[in-house]
Structure 1
Amino acid sequence: MRLPIPLRRLWPKTLFGQLLLIMVSGTLVIQLMSSSIWFDVRFAQVMEAPVRLIAARSAPLIAQADCHAGSLQLPNHYQVRCAESEPVARTDERRGRHRVELLLDQALAYELGRDAHARLLKVQLTDELGQPIVWRSLFGLRTAQAHIQFAVPLADGHWLTIDGEELQGWSGESAWVLISDYLLRVYALRIVAVLLVCLIAVRLCLRPLRRLADAARGLGSNLEQAPLPLDGPEEVRQAAQAFNAMQQRLIAMVNDKAYFLAAVSHDLRTPLTRMRLRLERLEPGEHKERLRQNIVQMDEMIGQVLDYLRAGEQQNLQQVDMDRLLARLCADLASAEEPLPVHGQAGMIEVDALMLQRCLQNLLVNALRYAKEVSVTLQPTADQVAIHIDDHGPGIAAAQLSTITEPFVRGENSRNQASGGYGLGLSIAQRIAASHGGDLIVTNRPEGGLRVSVLLPRSRATP
């Protein structure tokens, strides 16, 4: 069911917030429904003084009552009448009337010295105009008068009905004390308690889900990560079990694919070796040189395919001096005509040294292939290191930037004319960066040329 747009904007985005809102809202609704208990108790408290006064003033009337005699002397705001049958009580009274009836019967018994068997017929809190003001009087915001009608049986079989009114009386507690007591005890404390319980319960329930989400995010960079523990609620355990099974299937699929490609690439080198041996027997000439170039290209392609497959293998992580590794690599590739300056320092970083060297070497060779001027910049932060490789070449069309790191995808012709390559250099580098929990980003520089950025975390957290 879709929520209306105004409610949809207020609806929490996280599962934690949604569960918390549902539980607190449900508790609040239940509390509103059950708050009538407080009103009933408070109603009886407010009525206590008027009931005792009415009982004290009604006791002499009951003791002297004789339905066959003349009228009695009545206090102000009191009325009496006799009936041969028991009067019928009103059925639309508050549930708190039972407490008032019990209090009235006890007060009359104390005054008369015997059980009066009183039957409460009507009880109401009204203002000076006779209008009901129950809730305001319960909170002490208005001084009300109690109107009570009750009947008692007489010795001659008749029923004496007494109507009496008495003021609510003086309260030792201010209205704000009563209101704060109601809001604090009935709502605030319960909501706080529910919030604490919800926070603990929801966090315990969501912890396995967060672990599942973290494992799903890390699966792309580390397929060999440890399987999820099977704990938590039954539904979460089933999800974790399904995730572990999916991970094993993915590992099997990747291993099968890697084994197949590696076997094919390895088997192709056997006929290539035989072709080289036969090529050496041919007489020098243009035909022999073309064959030799074709064999070299095929051998290079097979080597790059194997490098691409090995890029996703499990790493041998260790602390490596990034500055020294990059300086040595740039020194090996630089020349007098094509210097490779390195700017900035990064310090130590947890990586697989051989894989990272292969990644950076592919990127540097690729940059030197398309441009004469190449520079490297290290941009460290507290939790990651960014390695920017900038060249002054022709760049890449903006439409190809999002797909240039895919296997066997090459840049536009202006960047690949007479440059060679098989579209695996950036793919290998991107896969190595991803296997370290990092990323590889390719952008065109505003001043011309290409920037390839390798983002690597300083350390790998254990999944």
Structure 2
Amino acid sequence: MKRFWPRSLLGQVLLVVAGALLVAQAISAVLLFRASEDRRMQRTVGSLALQLTAASSGALAGPSGERLGERFGPMRAMRGAHERFGPRRMRIERTDRPPALPRDRAEPAIRAALRTVLAEQGLRGSDDLRVTSRSALSDPRVLRRIEMGRPFAPEMHLERARIVLASVPDGQGKWITARAISQPRDPQALRALVAQTFVLFVVLMLAIGLLLRRITRPLAALTRRVEAFARTPDSVAPLLPEGPDDVRRLIEAHNAMEARIGAMLDEKDVMLGAIGHDLKTPLAALRVRIESVEDDAERERMAAGIEDIVRTLDDILSLARVGRASEPPERTDLGALAASVVEEFEDMSQPATLAEGPRVVAPVHVTWAKRALRNLVANAVRYGGEAQVSVLREGNRAVLRVTDDGPGIAPDRLSTITDPFVRGEASRNRETGGAGLGLTLARAIAEAHGGQLVLENRPEGGLRAELRLPL
């Protein structure tokens, strides 16, 4: 079911309306068909009832002894009533037994309705009523009438019509048989219903489609704007409000929110720049002043502390600026990018290797991508002793994978290890860990590219960290 269910608002509404319309038309068609069948049967029952009562009026008496002909008035009035109920009656037949042909078909529904009518009129013998039908062109009386040059009206459609025969005993050893032509179902009615459904379907779908397009077009533009703003929250011209008033108000509210967020981000950049300048200046002065410390060990510890503060400050400033690039991403060979990062670690005599793989090109901010991969390799070297780097392509994603043979990460900490200042190792010593911003920065860089950072413990031991970036 989900496979055929549209994902867009326009498709879902059109599909639901189309389904509801088809169901409603199907119910309407069934009701119309049943009403048409009821009318056809009522015409046939009425014609047969009038013939039988008229034929029996001279032979059978009602419950109070009067003649049925006297109860129903002159035959002229009977014929006028008969014309209202159905086609002109055929001649009544009196025989020793009910007429029958091999292919006659019993009509229990017509028999039940006709028996009720005859019983209400007080006609005796209705309990023995027999009703059958046959093809019109197989009935001897119809064929004899045609041979005598008395054709039926064209609207009779004898090739498709049926003759309904109703026989009742007359109380004198004879059977009175009445005939009525049951007209076939009109194919024009079905075609008219199909045409009506088609016209209604087209008009309704067109009207709803135009209305939904007026709603979904500005919503689609707003969605694209939100997605673009999430990737690069740059200050651009506000989105033009359009569509119904509710959608216009939504777009105007988004424009106001976007302008406020942009102003806050600009203020943040200015503030961080000032903080970085104000902190690095006294740190540089401290680095100069510690040179006067005579104890070499104490001087080195003080210098290492200053370097820790500077690196942590650089990480914080980098994390704050992710997503605020001034230049668009450029298509880059990720294999060459990974090779340059691995060479940096090899130059520092740290164990990092690059596996051969396919050439994968993706749009990235080179500086950010290098920084993210560098942080992953540094973590693998620090905690696993060695980093194995590979570049892969999986579907529409490029994967920068870093694996190690270390202890991995406790399963209950995998979901929080990328939070700021959360570390896999409890100490704050730069030699064994750090400030806990490396994975946070890598995750932020991946998300700024529309990708994600995935961390998994390997079954054979160690950690697998993947930067998955869209191609």
Matches within 5 A, 1:19-38: 20-21=15-16, 24-25=19-20, 28-29=23-24
- The residue aligned with 2:298 is 287
From 58, 69, 73, the equivalent of 1:81 is: 73
Of 332, 340, 346, the match for 1:334: 346
Aligned to 1:193: 202
Code of the aligned partner of 1:311: V
The C-alpha deviation readout for 1:368-416, integer Å capped at 9, x for no partner, is 2223221112221342111110112222222221111122221133897
Return the offset for 1:239. Answer: 2.0
2:386 aligned residue: 373
Cα distance change on mapping 1:334 and 1:35 into 2, 3 Å: same
- Structure 2 residue 233 is the aligned partner of structure 1 residue 223: yes
Sort the Cα spacing of 1:316 and 1:193 in 2 relative to 1 into closer, same or farther, 3 A. Answer: closer
- Contact 2:162-2:182 within 8 A present in 1 as well: no
What one-letter code is carried by the residue in structure 1 that aligns with 2:416? T
* Superimposed CA distance per residue, residues 300-324 of structure 1 (whole angstroms, 9 cap, x where no aligned partner): 1111112212222135211111222
Letter in 1 for 2:291: E
Matched, 1:387 2:400: yes
Return the offset for 1:293: 2.0
User: Residue in 1 aligned with 2:110?
Assistant: 127
Instruction: From the superposition, tell whether residues 299 and 44 of structure 1 become closer, same or farther in structure 2 (CA, over 3 Å).
Output: same
Residue identity in the other structure for 2:302:
L
Offset at 1:224? 3.5
Question: For the residues of structure 2 that align with 1:402 and 1:132, how far apart are their CA atoms?
Answer: 81
State whether residues 388 and 454 of structure 1, in contact with CA within 8 Å, keep that contact through their aligned partners in structure 2. yes
Q: Which letter maps to 2:371?
A: R
* TM-score of the aligned structures, taking structure 1 as reference length: 0.64
Contact 2:164–2:182 under 8 Å retained in 1: no
> Equivalent residue for 2:287?
276
CA–CA distance in 2 between the matches of 1:256 and 1:173?
80
Figure out how many residues of one structure are paired with residues of the other and give that number: 375
Residue 26 to residue 345, structure 1, CA distance change in 2 (3 Å): closer
| Counterpart code for 1:130 | A
Q: Percent identity?
A: 29
Q: 1:186 to 1:243 in 2, by over 3 A?
A: same
Contact 1:397 1:412 (C-alpha < 8 Å) held by counterparts: no
Question: Match of 1:158?
Answer: none
Q: 2-side partners of 1:415 and 1:363: how far apart?
A: 18
Q: Which moved more, 1:43-52 or 1:329-338?
A: 43-52
Q: Deviations over 1:199-221 (max 9, x none)?
A: 73475244444554555556543
Residues 433, 439 of structure 1: 8 Å contact kept: yes
Structure 2 residue 297 is matched with structure 1 residue 301? no
8 Å contact 2:425–2:432 — kept in the other structure? Answer: no
Alignment partner of 2:231: what SS? coil
Contact 1:385–1:456, Cα closer than 8 Å, also in 2: yes
CA contact (8 A) 1:46 1:168 kept: no
Partner of 2:371: 358
1:196-275 alignment runs, 5 A limit: 196-197=205-206, 200-201=209-210, 204=213, 205-213=215-223, 215-216=225-226, 219-224=229-234, 228-275=239-286
Superposition map of 1:39-118 within 5 A: 80-81=72-73
Cα distance in 1 for partners of 2:375, 2:181 equals 93
TM-score (norm 2): 0.63
**Deviation larger for 242-251 or 45-54:** 45-54
Decide whether aligned partners of structure 1 residues 247 and 27 sit closer, same or farther in structure 2, where only a CA change above 3 A counts.
farther
Contact 1:24 1:194 in 2 (8 A): no
Corresponding residue for 1:421?
Answer: 434
Unaligned runs of 5+ in 1: 1-10, 56-70, 83-99, 109-125, 147-164, 459-463
| Cα distance, 1:245 vs structure 2 | 2.5
Cα distance in structure 1, aligned partners of 2:430 and 2:372: 23
The separation in 2 between residues aligned to 1:382 and 1:339, in whole angstroms, is: 27
Letter of the 1:357 counterpart: K
Distance change (3 Å), C-alpha of 1:40 and 1:398: closer
Per-residue CA distance 1:78-111 (angstroms, 9 max, x = gap): 97438xxxxxxxxxxxxxxxxx99x959x99xxx
Is the partner of 1:377 in helix, strand or coil?
A: strand
- When residues 277 and 238 of structure 1 are mapped into structure 2, their CA distance, relative to the original with a 3 A threshold, is same
